[in-house]
Copies of this chain bind each other. A is one copy, B any other.
């Protein structure tokens, strides 16, 4: 939920004059996204999203994120399209922040994902991986093992405030990852944050993917297990193998996993759970109180880390 920066109508009107979107009719701050300020615009040409990039997004990364959306949309992946200014640029400045206009996607994110939603997400995730193969830019994953180490270093001392025993548990995970994190699996462009609120549906048909602001180059199967974590656990933290099987089947209907990828699913899933636990833990311990950021409880991902540690065979996720 987020509007960190308000915009005056005169500043916005002036900003929009460089874009082929027609006259500004209205704009509303929208309570979605936790990183940036987003506004839904109505103009003479339809609906658009205006994003002001707040401090967590590196301005230098914007050409990658926005260029990727352009690239994927050109390959038939439904995602927002950056609107180009008359001078060809897509990144401007508004209210002192980098800003961009992207097309508005109709659709609703599923508050209670079904197996049918999961199958669709798997299918489109694989299609995105295939479509990203010839995207010419690269961006390292800032939240890979090195990034996790930094987050952990900044939180370890107070980790016990959140969950007794957590420090030892996470230390042990890091030791395992140093030793056995898979290095040679198929890699490419990943979304890296494909949670339900970033996937829109009209009925059970996927209408688009949004929020590419964590996209980067990393293991494709790592993106897949992030989805398993985000889509296939119930509120009581039990893994729903029917949803897992649907997501994996949807994925493999477009891009079959290699045997090495299948064998690596448990450790990748455990790593991805650690990654989201760590950002939540960090925000929990360091985030400002009383501001507009909704702090997400790290406990959910502590449960998921434990689930994955107990996995013996990747078939337990629902692989055929």
Contact = CB atoms under 8 A, between A and B. Distances in A.
Interface string A76-113: 00000000000000000000000000001111111110
A104 B26 CA distance: 10
Contacts of A112: 8, 10
Contacts of A311: none
A42 B106 contact: yes
A297 interface: no
Nearest to A24: B108
Contacts of A107: 25-26
A109 B9 CA distance: 8
Main secondary structure of the interface of A (DSSP, over half): loop
Interface in A1-39: 1-3, 6-10, 12, 24-32
Interface residues on A, range: 35 or more
Q: Which of A12, A26, A30, A200 has the most CB of B within 10 A?
A: A26
B1 A292 contact: yes
Interface of A: 1-3, 6-10, 12, 24-32, 40, 42, 47, 104-112, 200-202, 289-292, 294
